[in-house]
Structure 1
């Protein structure tokens, strides 16, 4: 892809902002969105083209500016305050992309699209089963984009995020955690950025990719270390079984030739 291609990132957040900085360093023309003027002014001062865009669930702000691109990257997660609005938000973005003439979309999804069967899951194992965390299925959300004819979409399904200021131990500090010996699926923000940049640079569209670190430490080891490294109380572990899945990333590594920067989440907690 030409270095002159314009990339628009809806959601300069935990994944979107470091991706923007990485792509800009590679010579791409990058624009993106935040929800408030203070953050916009800060990023503009840092040299990042930034516009205000929020949803209630209809778009509020400069949606048109976000659609002036060759590639649209969507990195906005569901709001925990109003997760029921998420499908309508994505629908409005898909409609806007279709009307704008954008031909390539990269949508950040989650491995919650897979059932927790205790087995390895690959891209073709996605189901319409509802996520226990959100109460709705992720697959129709992906299909909001993948089933459109006006553009071609690649979906990247991330496991639990870590790094870049995200300590996964904070969610479980001092709490009871079942399935102490079950494996965890994590991905470092550095690898989120690396995977997405690889998709854009290699011009790979119309695909779905799992993105999760190669190694899967058990909950007891991972969350003990995560909490201790942050000075948080360690979870109270129970060996009582808990549903889980092991995310397989062979397709990502074979199709993109991607090598994880942080292949072992346990080691990645060291810094």
Structure 2
């Protein structure tokens, strides 16, 4: 049986290896980038390339061609950290919505930044109250997509992204008075991000909200100290006494619904 055609909006750090993985599984892939110089790289990987920036007036025909005949659309386009991020991100996604047909399935690569700190476990059922503008922007787009087609939409909320060239030792190296050293962290490896999307496709799991996060949640101080030492960098210095704020992202639903076993359940394996 022929595999589906999939359009991946955003072939960057996650989208490009995702596209290559899906091609290896027999899928036909259309992929987008905002960078003209990436067109050849996409084509050489077997991806049908499209170069455009969301929200530009002259893109209507490009949107139609990019999305046409694809059974699944993966929206993997995170908001940029810019002023008025909440409105701009919605307008960018809103510009392509009229070109998504009712029968097309959508995976929106979201973020666990939509969750507030609870000093406890967090599941997909919580009433979201994001604390930062980036989280507010992502939640607003989740709701925008739900209003377009809730039944055909699956939202994948990913924790902090690590793996390959995202070396966590660089994140906090040399910093002083770093907060929340005794708080548990929430991260997910690139391979598990791809594995979860593959599992959603395999199980035809639509109309869902799913968290993606490693099983274990080591303390921030331990993880980033080890990560810096492994990268031969100066470890960060954490505050000695403070009130910590945290959340622990539960991945129970992802494992049960998708029958998924995380490749990297313990982030400490990556930094020891």
Provide the TM-score with structure 2 as the length reference.
0.90
CA, structure 1 residues 59+224, in 2 after alignment: closer, same or farther (shift >3 Å)? farther
Contact kept? 1:110, 1:159, Cα under 8 Å: yes
* Distance (whole Å) between structure 2 residues aligned to residue 57 and residue 227 of structure 1: 41
- Superposition pairs for residues 44-83 of structure 1, below 5 Å? 44-55=43-54, 60=59, 62-68=62-68, 69-81=70-82, 83=85
- Structure 1 spans left out of the alignment, 5+ residues: none
Give 1:154 deviation, angstroms.
Answer: 0.1
Give the equivalent residue in structure 2 for 1:146. Answer: 146
* Distance (whole Å) between structure 2 residues aligned to residue 214 and residue 60 of structure 1: 41
Give 1:150 deviation, angstroms.
Answer: 8.2
* Distance (whole Å) between structure 2 residues aligned to residue 177 and residue 65 of structure 1: 48
Corresponding residue pairs, total: 266
* Distance (whole Å) between structure 2 residues aligned to residue 166 and residue 3 of structure 1: 35
Give the equivalent residue in structure 2 for 1:217. Answer: 218
3-state SS, counterpart of residue 177 of structure 1: coil
CA, structure 1 residues 132+150, in 2 after alignment: closer, same or farther (shift >3 Å)? closer
- Superposition pairs for residues 85-164 of structure 1, below 5 Å? 85-98=88-101, 101-127=102-128, 129-132=129-132, 134=134, 136-149=136-149, 152-164=152-164
Contact kept? 1:142, 1:155, Cα under 8 Å: yes
Give 1:137 deviation, angstroms.
Answer: 5.0
* Distance (whole Å) between structure 1 residues aligned to residue 75 and residue 255 of structure 2: 22
More displaced 10-residue stretch of structure 1: 218-227 or 74-83: 74-83
* Distance (whole Å) between structure 2 residues aligned to residue 252 and residue 217 of structure 1: 20
* Distance (whole Å) between structure 2 residues aligned to residue 51 and residue 143 of structure 1: 26
* Distance (whole Å) between structure 2 residues aligned to residue 24 and residue 205 of structure 1: 21
* Distance (whole Å) between structure 2 residues aligned to residue 37 and residue 122 of structure 1: 39
3-state SS, counterpart of residue 216 of structure 1: coil
Instruction: Calculate the aligned-residue CA RMSD, in Å.
Output: 2.0
3-state SS, counterpart of residue 227 of structure 2: helix
* Distance (whole Å) between structure 2 residues aligned to residue 207 and residue 14 of structure 1: 24
CA, structure 1 residues 150+143, in 2 after alignment: closer, same or farther (shift >3 Å)? closer
3-state SS, counterpart of residue 30 of structure 2: strand
Q: Please tell me whether residue 267 in structure 1 is matched to residue 269 in structure 2.
A: yes
